[in-house]
Amino acid sequence: MALSDPIRVALIIAELRSNQWKSRDEIESIQEERLIRLIAHARKHVPHYRKSFDGTVFEGLDSLQSLPIVKKEDIRANGASFISGLHNRESLRKFRTTGTTGECLEHFMDHSDGLTGTALRQHSFMQCGFSPRDLMVNMAYSRMPKFPFQPLLYRVRNVLPSLDIEKNLLALKSASADIIYAYPSNLVLMAEHNLKSGSRFKVGKAISVSEILSERARKTISDSFGCSIRDYYAASECWAIAWECEKGSLHINSDHVVVEVVDARNKPVGEGKSGRLLVTPLWRRSMPFIRYEIGDCGTLGSGCGCGRGLHVLKSLDGRTLDFIVLPSGRRISWFFLEGPICSAGSMAALQVVQESRESLHIKIVPNTGYAAGIGERIRKAVLSILPEKMSVSVEITDGIRSGARGKKPGFISKLGPSA
């Protein structure tokens, strides 16, 4: 860590805090200037873009749609070609993502990009009500990804979420958390248990990540814990994309990421219309993602009464808040299955389908050269963590079919929505 690192992060946060109040036109000028620099860098130094941008004309934000879309399979097929020639792959840090889309991907980032990502996340948390004095209990990830001096910015206690909801609540209580960072499915189950058990445990604030925070879930969580709750949209590839303001709008960090919404023919759709999301983090240099199809669907909104000029994500579709319902009727978050499935072997995508209360069907798209027996290993791993007896089948397939609007969710319940 260089002595200048904290200063650099502080300056980026100060800039983010200032830029959010600029007008939409001013923010789009910043986007355009950063986009031009990013495209020039990618064209010159990144083998994939040197080839794919050949013959394309890019003149600014309005011509972004003339550039090709990058899909996860492009990166899986030849990830090394996305790494800038100015960066040594051995010195980069590896990240792995699966998330709600069930599509697995490895990507790389250097220290400098990590500092910007750190600043973006800190700023987004603060806009969601987090104060640097707060102790955040992270129940979403086994460990929150961090860069060297991040403990100076966050006081985070990582608590591995358990299928035992009472254990989760006890961990929260003993940590004296000021703010919880968790999947809403897990928060809902803890909130319901908190009410039923009469423990009336309270916590000041909550940040919801990864799944849709439905109005019903929001009410259950805030009624039980007596807390304010804000939605946060993040992805390993972009870190912080959007956060919920005090007026309830999901604001995009537009000065650092361009979010496009496109239809089935890859044409941009206007505000108020749903489509597939393409993201371009304007700050990634070591492994740039340009017009990257992140796997989510959403709708852009027109603006927000809070006065910020940042673009608004009116809705995120497809990141369903859904549960696996066990034979007894008890519900668990499907995210608990993701770790055991992924650790069974290398795969390109996965999808868990709840066929009935008694049965789960898991579809796997393995990577090239996968080891035989992966299906049985997954079946045994899932059976070992399910708290009730269910039948589990595993299918090895070439691809997972898209659902509505091109979305491939990591989890589908045929029992219907449960929250």
Using CB under 5 A as the criterion, which residues of the chain lie in contact with Zn ion when the complex forms? Answer: 245, 247, 249, 304, 306
Q: How far is the CB of 309 from Zn ion (least distance, A)?
A: 10
Can you give the length of the chain in residues?
419
- Taking the least distance from each CB to Zn ion, the nearer of 26 and 166 is 26
- Taking the least distance from each CB to Zn ion, the nearer of 30 and 306 is 306
- Taking the least distance from each CB to Zn ion, the nearer of 171 and 304 is 304
Q: How far is the CB of 280 from Zn ion (least distance, A)?
A: 22
Q: Are 32 and 61 in contact (CB under 8 A)?
A: yes
167: left (phi over 0), alpha (psi -120 to 50) or beta: alpha
Angle between helices 184-196 and 165-175 (to 10 degrees): 90
Structural tokens at position 33? 């200037």
Residue with tokens 């860069």: 147
Q: How far is the CB of 313 from Zn ion (least distance, A)?
A: 11
Whole-angstrom Cα distance, residue 83 to residue 79? 7
Q: How far is the CB of 129 from Zn ion (least distance, A)?
A: 13
Q: How far is the CB of 204 from Zn ion (least distance, A)?
A: 21
- Taking the least distance from each CB to Zn ion, the nearer of 16 and 304 is 304
- Neighbouring CB atoms inside 10 A of 42's CB total 23
Q: How far is the CB of 66 from Zn ion (least distance, A)?
A: 31
Structural tokens at position 149? 């001096």
Q: How far is the CB of 247 from Zn ion (least distance, A)?
A: 4
User: Could you give phi then psi for residue 294, rounded to 5 degrees?
Assistant: -80, -15
Q: Are 287 and 83 in contact (CB under 8 A)?
A: yes
- Taking the least distance from each CB to Zn ion, the nearer of 83 and 257 is 257
Pairing mode, strands 312-317 and 292-301: antiparallel
For 177, 271, 282, the CA distances from 260, given in Å and listed in that order, are 36, 10, 13
- Taking the least distance from each CB to Zn ion, the nearer of 110 and 231 is 231
- Taking the least distance from each CB to Zn ion, the nearer of 64 and 245 is 245
Q: How far is the CB of 73 from Zn ion (least distance, A)?
A: 36
Q: How far is the CB of 300 from Zn ion (least distance, A)?
A: 14
- The DSSP letter of residue 92 is S
- Taking the least distance from each CB to Zn ion, the nearer of 226 and 307 is 307
**CA–CA–CA angle 372, 375, 377 (5° rounding):** 90
List, as one string, the DSSP characters of 273-315: -EEEEEEEETT--SS--SSEEEEEEEEEE---TT---S-EEEE
Instruction: Give the distance from CA 128 to its chain's centroid.
Output: 16
Question: Which amino acid belongs to residue 96?
Answer: R
Among the listed residues 216, 182, 222, the one whose alpha carbon sits nearest the alpha carbon of residue 418: 216
For 283, 293, 317, 382, the CA distances from 278, given in Å and listed in that order, are 15, 5, 14, 33
- Taking the least distance from each CB to Zn ion, the nearer of 27 and 245 is 245
